Chains A and B, each alone.
Chain A
């Protein structure tokens, strides 16, 4: 009898210590309520992509006492843009061929999985922005078009499917989104001449469920918006970043990239749907609900990388469900999710000659080829009605080619961009009143702002800079209250979570693409906490 009691008690302790729960979660219910979690379950924290954490130990008053508590060095020299996830005592990070499970307090490695490319050639220009977790599975894409599900406890491969066509230079770099039994993902690489799509694959076995073509094929709606272009050269519409999800309605808000060739539209008259747009899809069927194209017939490589956060706010006394739309065109927009009305469009970087198409002689314009808003979404404090958006400010000269040429597998730009000198590059964090777009404060960085931004109930902004600085700002006025150089450019995730009641911040740093002209560095995660 006593023995039975001891066994039961031991089992109970195992359950309580998350060993069993971690193997099976997070559940759909946990993901639905990720906004209230002090774990970090989704790339932008929750389905709505709010990036707000209810943790208040780190404040403008206490931030100066922050200290690094552990460091993970990945020895990976690919671009480090991964957005860590934290669930019940484990952190998951990725690199193009690497998936690692870490202890989020000690940074000790629990397991590591190395992907050996199987396809003839992956598109090595597309890096990796993170994994998704649900039901004991860690799911991620690869450069050679595979979608993998790893066991969350061991890192062993549960299934792998060839989800994208690497022969056509499709690469899966975005962080997938998991909803019910569906993994939502699509290939990036508009510049490499892909024909974009986003699709759903079964979480249970990886089999394809639906696919929506972001560049319509013959006979599909929207094809009439590509005039004078041969079907083979109807290109672009890559997916680089994770959709947000209205889980109550089952609607995906998908950010879609530019058409190709990027900088010349001579042979693709029309608006070129659904490039440079947000498309709203039924998550279960992939059916188009509505769309908003911000850059019809784009000639500047001005993708829409941001379709978050979704939130509900009061405008002129009326409650309205809204979606935030951020573009490389440098505008932060708010749209009504019912009427689709544009409530505001606020510039968050310099805009000059934004409406002028490139010429053979060249046109000086802002934003430049690299935006604008890039892959990191704004963060929102709903109670404070505060939204903080990162942006790049780096102008230059756009030129179109006299004779653009499509060379399979190569950049299909149709022109070129000459950057201003590095001394003229900079970045912004812009804080706006979320309901109106009124600018509250701005933080100016000496380099483009690319890292993730997180807000907390401690009234701080957590982010990082290309200079390598992890940065804590006072959310009330944008003044820095803590700065620590983590040793490499911060262009990936910056998250906050709690373990056993203690607040932590994890900061990803590492290599950037060469054109950012930042110092080289290997993948590193530095975890901070108060003493």
Chain B
């Protein structure tokens, strides 16, 4: 009986936690404003040439707007998927050449430019954390 109760409580807590994460994902808040500023500096240095000053994406893929939303805020990708692509493929001429923290800083700036609001805590390059965040369409 006691075991069942513990299981129920644990399940409730898990559901509550997932709900919190979903809200977090829906409303943003998973990076800080200062982090996005750092990301902007890195973006201008390493990404802007291909992805555009406003992330409009020419000649490379857009990183803001409907195309980005369609690809990454489709409910099927986590931020860890985005982190994986960015850290293994970018910058295109020297993939993997930035520190992991720098990659998540750039992601923070991309999220800001897609309308996700900053919060109090920084986005960290920890897979287990990033896997829990799924972007919701803006």
Contact = CB atoms under 8 A, between A and B. Distances in A.
Tell whether A and B belong to one assembly: yes
Interface of A: 77-79, 120-121, 124-125, 399, 401, 405, 407-411, 413, 415-419, 511-515, 517
Interface of B: 49-51, 57-62, 66-67, 70-71, 76-77, 81, 84-85, 88-89, 92-97
Contact of B61 (A125, A405, A415): A125
A416 B95 contact: yes
A410 B58 CA distance: 16
A410 B67 CA distance: 12
A399 B96 CA distance: 10
Nearest to B60: A514
Contacts of A124: 57, 61-62, 67
Given A511-B58, A514-B60, A407 B95 contact: no
Contacts of A125: 60-61
Nearest to B78: A407
Quick one: which of B51, B59, B62, B81 has the most chain A CB within 10 A?
Answer: B59
Contacts of A405: 81, 84
B47 to A, nearest CB: 9
B8 to A, nearest CB: 36
Nearest to B56: A77
Contacts of A408: 76-77
Contacts of B50: 513-515
A417 B59 contact: no
Contact of A78 (B58, B89, B97): B58
Contacts of B60: 125, 513-514
B93 A409 contact: no
A362 to B, nearest CB: 10
Contacts of A415: 88
Contacts of A407: 77, 81, 84-85
Given A124-B67, A407-B85, A418-B96, 7 more contacts: A121-B66, A121-B70, A407-B81, A416-B89, A416-B95, A419-B93, A514-B59
Contacts of B77: 407-408
A78 B59 contact: yes
A411 B85 contact: yes
Contacts of B62: 124
Contacts of B88: 401, 413, 415-416
A106 B40 CA distance: 45
B58 A409 contact: no
A512 B60 CA distance: 10
A414 to B, nearest CB: 9
19 contacts: A77-B59, A79-B59, A120-B70, A121-B66, A121-B71, A125-B60, A399-B96, A408-B76, A408-B77, A411-B89, A416-B89, A416-B96, A417-B95, A418-B93, A418-B94, A418-B96, A512-B59, A514-B49, A514-B51
Contacts of A78: 58-59
A277 B60 CA distance: 27
Contact of B85 (A121, A410, A418, A419): A410
Contacts of A410: 71, 81, 85
Quick one: which of B50, B60, B92 has the most chain A CB within 10 A?
Answer: B92
A199 B136 CA distance: 37
B132 to A, nearest CB: 17
Contact of A515 (B61, B81, B93): B93
Nearest to A169: B71
Nearest to A416: B95
A416 to B, nearest CB: 3
A184 to B, nearest CB: 27
Contacts of B59: 77-79, 511-514
Contacts of B61: 124-125
Contacts of B96: 399, 416, 418
B90 to A, nearest CB: 9
A264 to B, nearest CB: 11
Given A407-B85, A409-B71, A514-B50, A418 B95 contact: yes
A80 to B, nearest CB: 10
A375 B58 CA distance: 20
Contacts of A513: 50, 59-60
Nearest to A516: B59
A514 B81 contact: no
A149 to B, nearest CB: 27
Nearest to A79: B59
A221 to B, nearest CB: 33
A407 B51 CA distance: 20
A97 to B, nearest CB: 12
Given A78-B59, A511-B59, A513-B59, A413 B84 contact: no
B70 to A, nearest CB: 4
Quick one: which of A401, A407, A511, A513 has the most chain B CB within 10 A?
Answer: A407
Contact of A418 (B57, B76, B97): B97
Nearest to B96: A416
A413 B95 CA distance: 11
B85 A77 contact: no
Contacts of A514: 49-51, 59-60, 92
B51 to A, nearest CB: 8
B95 A517 contact: no
